[in-house]
Structure 1
Amino acid sequence: MKKSNKQRRAEIRARRLERAARLEAMLGAPDPRRAPPLRAPGLEPADVGVLARHNNTYGALPTYYVDRAFTCRDCGAEEVWTARQQKWWYEVVHGPIDSHAVRCLDCRRARRAGLADSRRGEGANRLGEEVAWLRAVGDAAPDAETERRVEAALASKWEGVRKVAIDVLGRWRRPQDAARLREWAMDERREWFNSVRRAASEALAPLLRHPQDDAWVLEAFAAARYVSWPWGAFVQGVPAATLDDFLARELDAGNPSRLANLCVMLMHARRLPSAALWRRLRAHPHPDVARMVRHAAQVLEAAGASQNKNA
């Protein structure tokens, strides 16, 4: 008897759950930071280079993915987030490395349909309409009315609206906006993962200039591990002597937090200091520094980073 699509989907789900359980029993407590112990269905190798370029993280990057069973948040069904789906999510969509599936396919579709229904009708989605307008005005020089509306959006009580308004400033690339973008990016009153801080960091990146901003960017990386990652490309253009002098002073000062942050900078900049300074970093006894050095070495090796040749 021919099986229905529903029956076939149920069979596929059952096989995936069985495979995930089998892999869990086989691997015990797998450490995705190490190479996969075998090649088998339900395991997928990770591209560490892609993850390092697109995932803002300070923890170890996985070297492989494994099928993961989970319970749907909405309907309670047992589902599997396959290794192949994880690879697509992290490496194609560039989802955050600490995110994971929480809903089954049917519940995801139902949620999207419900959101779409709620946004129909005139005035039903005013925030969405404001955001759509903001995204459309960043491609041309602003007139007085556009500037007024963007300034109003920058003062909005809605964080998402402020973030998109900051994106507009980044697309306009006006030097007069650099000072407040710096202030927002380094605002210590807000959590490091705040979307406004991250948007300001990204908007500021095209406004940074060598050599006048070199010292400020290096200090920003040392002071703030997380929001400064969009400036990694800028650090690639900092002269080797400038970078090494700054790192040598920080090694002499010995602040573990700042040194760990500078390891993150090297990772995002895809460059190494001089061999002597790199040896000093790798030999640092503090566990936080040692952990970040190991992580940076993993990423830099995958990216093929080269050494500064001034030592």
Structure 2
Amino acid sequence: MDLVIREVIRENVRISPLTTFRIGGLAKYFFEAQNKKELKKVINWAQKQNIPYFILGGGSNILVSDKGFDGLLIKVPAKDIKVKKGRGALRIVKAEAGVLLSKLIAFSVKRGLSGLEYFIGIPGTVGGAIYGNAGWPRNQKSIGDVMVGATLLMPNGQITKKRADWFKFVYRSSKLKNFGSKKIIILSAEFQLRAGDKNEILQTQEEILSVRKRGIPKGYSCGCVFKNIEIKKNHSSFFRFADQLPLAFIKRGSISAGWLIDQCGLRGYKIGGAQISKQHANFIINVDKAKACDVQSLIEIVQRQVKKKFDINLSLEIEYLL
């Protein structure tokens, strides 16, 4: 490791405090980038040394191994948010990928700009929200609906801009999840918002936040563990229990994973220090120094039971770093 790299990289850093789950061992290397130039240099070093690297956003939606990560954990720049002019009432807001989504929402709402208030209460960073196309099923809005483009650092070291359609946003996913070890890093993103009445925007935000607070369990968790299930007309298994479904699910065209888990009688089920939330069954809570293996065991039990009862395969919304 050359002197310049050694000055910016820390070794054997505990990961658990950097995650909302508070689970995870040590990262062999940890790097918090201050700018694009520094980030490019460190990524280039990692590639030459064949060291795997992982971009850590706000630490939600991730389960880290108790053994840690034998590679380079990276936090990307998180400083700038700017407003650019748009046509008529439209405005373009640009934010660095490491900016907390909550900070970006507060920035836009303070300036009377509408479009991001629907995501209030979602943890994590701008980059993480784009990577997983974050959203809230109740209002059927996702971050990809308002993003117009992003600046990316490609595996070959080139910096390029891509329009929103390049990302191929779908429910809780984007094209970025398909690149495996050849990771593409989001540097910044632009969102198209609309100038509106600040008080009305604040009221909408408060209504959404109030509902979310009632539904989100307290305690250390990584957010929703499983993706909700899209209702497909050609999916025969749905018809066996269609009469049991709440009307709200039918109207929005998707079934809550939490409801499926609840129907299997797993609410409150516990292994080690990890427990399926008694409040919302799609959350697993670290109630007492849980290990990653405790969470994995719960995940496997949930998937087996839902498959057995409903013939439905639950897909993970979270990502493993094991």
TM-score normalised by structure 1 residue count: 0.27
Higher relative contact order (CA 8 A, sep 6+): 2
